Amino acid sequence: MLNYRVQNPTDAPVSPTSLAAGLRLPTNGLDYAILAIYFAVVLGIGFAARRSVRTSLDFFLSGRSLPAWITGLAFISANLAATEILGMAANSAQYGAYTVHWYWIGAIPAMVFLGLVMMPFYYGSKVRSVPEMLLLRFDRAAHLLSSILFAFAAVLIAGVNLYALAIVVEALLGWPQWVAIVVAGAFVLAYITLGGLSSAIYNEVLQFFVILAALIPLSVLGLKKVGGWDGLVDRLTATHGHNFTTAWGGTGIGSANPLGANWLTIVVGLGFVLSFGYWTTNFAEVQRALSAKNLSAAQRTPLIAAYPKIFIVFLVMIPGLVAAALVPNIGRSGSGLQYNDAIPYLMSQLLPNGVLGIAVTGLLAAFMAGMAANVSSFNTVFTTDIWAKYVVRGREDAYYVRFGRLITVIGVCASIGTAFLASSFSNIMSYLQTLFSFFNVPMFVVFVVGMFWKRASAKSGFWGLLAGTVTAMVNYFVLYRKGVIGIPTDQGANFVSAIAGFVAGAVVMVIVSLFTAPKPEAELEGLVYGTRSPGMAEPPAPGDEAWYRRPALLGWGAVILAALCYIPFSF
Amino acid sequence: MTDDSGHSGFHYSEQDVQREVTELESRSTTAARIFDLRRIIGGLFVLYGVIVTITGITDSQAEIDKAQGININLWTGIGMLLLGVFFLVWLWLRPVPPAEEAGR
């Protein structure tokens, strides 16, 4: 069985798990009515967004016209898929307060870096995708390799999302797996084919609020049940030890902790390599910012998303910790519950009909949004980067809109196929997930080296990408899995593999660059730090000078807030 | 080795991207035709808020006991209602600037 902890590649599968039986929720007609209303609204958004699509830019990037609050909330929502919510609650039930690292150090600095440093290059150069940026900075080899890997990974992750949804829906609502897979797939297919990225983004924003409405009551009731935060800490300290409720306890180099990582691998592996790779080069995220209406809005997209990200950790960690306090042997035999069951377990124990319907709706919405984010980035990369550049070039724009719709249908069908495949060959699937989880790391190294070192040659991109990918995988699948190097857990190995991939990619890029011709300076305008592209010359929109819209202030504010959040968890 | 970015005579530069995307932007209709999301969020949350608040008002003691003595339906319903009203008020106070509506 698959683990949910896959959506965010900074979070690799830990152990094969499934939902325990006996979690069937006492849903009634009211809960189903709430769910039905949501599905109707989702479809309505698709139909209503349809008339806004005229050009391929409308279909794939919402015409680069959306306001920052919408792209910002969609940015956080694309990450807040159900696999992330259930997986991070599971993480908390298993490892305790270490979960905060995935948010405060493993997300905020990277999101701020994307907004302040990288977005002027992404948005200003007017690229339509992350691989297209590699085409401009490097060459076709790097472009094609990254496009194909991304397209595969996106379909795979969309399929895994669908399969995870089917398991959860089967356990909670009793629907057969194939019904859940086909129904959710059909809805995602319908609204993206109709309205393109606009309807994906609008639905993500809606999902953000529904998931908050589901998680806030659950966290409040969970805390009440265990006697508030103090009661929770007391109970966990008694059963799991003091370190369980601290962020850094037991992470000294050489000391043992359940995470199997020390402060250095947490800061460098998770906080720098994995997190920057995911947040700054994963097109499913970056696409949301590229659809913003101007450079200021694009820069603010990840910064606006950073603030909810700082606090969402409490809404997934508290249910996980409460589950660990109520069922101290959760995740081990005898408890009847897996770590992944933390949130469904509390839902069944605490929520009355009504709020229960909201919570079920929120979970399903989160699964669909996670899948839709992957589908909407897949169709963009496949159409603009693969099809329009290598297969059928130079056709009229309407052709590519039609092709984008067609490839959306094909992509969703492939995801549905992947989901069915996953239900019979789950070991292969979890292997593939780990494989692709390393894909962002070399992307990131190629990006930063290319962005900050103008001498990096056109050829170095491809070789850096390849070397980084291969090294990370060899380290994980050969050195770690075969026991050549001793790392206590999969999570720890994941961090170390990411660092190895990063270093290897950087070294290979430097070597290849020294032996190949540099790219002419004229072709690097706006692609390398210190240069400006013509597109960045556009004047700021009226109102964007307001102090609360200044990217630097928003960005540094988020970093400082995240650092302050660490204080209560550090002693 | 040479630094040619293609073999079949295809060279894609930043100027090409700029030109192509700028041209598409000039024909884009999203800004002019997309509906205001605030209306949808506002409407859905007001509807959900009313449903869940009424459920809270009519909840039996057993349901309140399940939720640790808190009438969670009532409080969640009121919260959702307020969020929905917030979006509708925002929409009412700051409608989309006419410049963006006029582009059709």
Nearest to A401 by CA among A50, A48, A134, A45: A50
pLDDT confidence of residue A525: 80
pLDDT tens across A404-434, in order? 999 999 999 999 998 888 777 666 656 666 6
pLDDT confidence of residue A129: 92
Q: Higher-confidence residue: A326 or A571?
A: A326
Q: What is the mean pLDDT of residues A300-320?
A: 94
pLDDT tens across A467-488, in order? 998 888 888 878 777 777 777 6
Q: What is the mean pLDDT of residues A350-378?
A: 91
B45 contacts A66? CB cut-off 8 A: no
Q: Which residues of A441-471 are buried (b: 16+ CB within 10 A; e: fewer)?
A: bbbbbbbbbbbebbebbbbbbbbbbbbbbbb
> How many Cβ atoms sit within 10 Å of the Cβ of residue A174?
10
Looking from the CA of A443 toward its CB, the CA atoms found within 13 Å total: 29
CA atoms of A421 and A159, how far apart (whole Å):
9
A18 has pLDDT over 60: no
Quick check: A47 contacting B, CB < 8 Å? no
pLDDT confidence of residue A27: 84
DSSP symbols for A174-236? ---HHHHHHHHHHHHHHHHHHHHHHHHHHHHHHHHHHHHHHHHHHHHHHHHHTTHHHHHHHHH
pLDDT confidence of residue A551: 87
Q: What is the mean pLDDT of residues A268-275?
A: 82
pLDDT confidence of residue A7: 38
B52 contacts A224? CB cut-off 8 A: no
A127 has pLDDT over 60: yes
A461 has pLDDT over 50: yes
pLDDT confidence of residue B28: 84
Does residue A476 contact residue A533 with C-beta atoms inside 8 Å?
no
A561 has pLDDT over 90: yes
pLDDT confidence of residue A428: 63
Average the pLDDT over each of A124-138, A230-244, A288-302, A354-368 and give the range with the smallest value: A230-244
Q: Higher-confidence residue: A405 or A265?
A: A405
pLDDT confidence of residue B6: 41
pLDDT confidence of residue A538: 63
Q: What is the mean pLDDT of residues A325-332?
A: 82
Paired with A66 in beta bridges are A292
CA atoms of A292 and A302, how far apart (whole Å):
11
pLDDT confidence of residue A13: 38
pLDDT confidence of residue A4: 43
Q: Tell me, what's the ipTM? A: 0.86
Return residues 528-547 of A near B (CB < 8 Å): 533-535
Alpha-carbon distance B68 to nearest alpha carbon in chain A (angstroms): 6
**Residue contacts between A and B (CB atoms, under 8 Å):** 178
A174 has pLDDT over 60: yes
Give which of A34, A133, A204, A209 to mutate to test B binding, by max B Cβ within 10 Å: A209
A6 has pLDDT over 80: no
B67 has pLDDT over 70: yes
CA atoms of A259 and A107, how far apart (whole Å):
18
Nearest to A226 by CA among A323, A314, A336, A316: A323
A199 CB neighbours in chain B (<8 A) are: none
pLDDT band, residue B77 (cuts 50/70/90): very high
A57 contacts B21? CB cut-off 8 A: yes
Using a pLDDT cut of 90, give the percent of chain A over it.
Answer: 37
pLDDT confidence of residue A33: 93
Quick check: B89 contacting A, CB < 8 Å? no
CA atoms of A566 and A208, how far apart (whole Å):
25
pLDDT band, residue A96 (cuts 50/70/90): confident
CA angle A184, A282, A557 (to 5 degrees): 105
pLDDT confidence of residue B102: 40
Quick check: A326 contacting B, CB < 8 Å? no
pLDDT confidence of residue A17: 43
pLDDT confidence of residue A430: 64
CA atoms of A425 and B96, how far apart (whole Å):
50
Host H or E run for residue A43 = helix A29-50
Average the pLDDT over each of A9-23, A214-228, A501-515, A532-546 and give the range with the smallest value: A9-23
DSSP symbols for A344-365? HHHHHHHPPTTHHHHHHHHHHH
pLDDT band, residue B104 (cuts 50/70/90): very low
Nearest to A514 by CA among A447, A449, A460, A443: A460
Using a pLDDT cut of 70, give the percent of chain A over it.
Answer: 91
Q: Higher-confidence residue: A399 or A338?
A: A399
> How many Cβ atoms sit within 10 Å of the Cβ of residue A409?
13
A198 CB neighbours in chain B (<8 A) are: 30, 34
Does residue B54 contact residue A352 with C-beta atoms inside 8 Å?
no
How far are the Cα atoms of A235, A331, A438, A466 from residue A91, in angstroms, in the given order?
Answer: 18, 11, 20, 31
pLDDT tens across A502-556, in order? 999 999 999 999 999 888 888 888 788 877 766 555 666 777 778 888 888 899 9
pLDDT confidence of residue A16: 36
Tokens of A335: 């408890």
pLDDT confidence of residue A432: 63
Quick check: A329 contacting B, CB < 8 Å? no
pLDDT band, residue B98 (cuts 50/70/90): low
Instruction: Output phi, psi for A66, to 5 deg.
Output: -90, 150
B29 contacts A52? CB cut-off 8 A: yes
A277 has pLDDT over 90: no
Q: Search chain B and give the residue with CA nearest A57.
A: B24
pLDDT confidence of residue A504: 93
Q: What is the mean pLDDT of residues A200-223?
A: 93
pLDDT confidence of residue A24: 81
pLDDT confidence of residue A534: 61
Average the pLDDT over each of A174-178, A185-189, A530-534, B7-11 and give the range with the smallest value: B7-11
pLDDT confidence of residue B2: 39
Does residue A218 contact residue A343 with C-beta atoms inside 8 Å?
yes
A5 has pLDDT over 80: no
pLDDT tens across A434-443, in order? 666 677 888 8
Cβ neighbors of B23 (< 8 A, separation 6 or more) are none
Cβ-nearest to B14 among A205, A520, A533 = A533
B61 has pLDDT over 50: yes
Does residue A296 contact residue A116 with C-beta atoms inside 8 Å?
no
Nearest to A100 by CA among A308, A319, A313: A313
Average the pLDDT over each of A204-208, A331-335, A553-557 and give the range with the smallest value: A331-335
Average the pLDDT over each of A113-122, A376-385, B26-35 and give the range with the smallest value: B26-35
CA atoms of A1 and A19, how far apart (whole Å):
9
pLDDT confidence of residue B5: 41
Q: Search chain B and give the residue with CA nearest A390.
A: B10
B91 has pLDDT over 60: yes
pLDDT band, residue A560 (cuts 50/70/90): very high
Helices (H), A272-338: 275-281, 283-290, 295-326
Cβ-nearest to A140 among B6, B41, B77 = B6
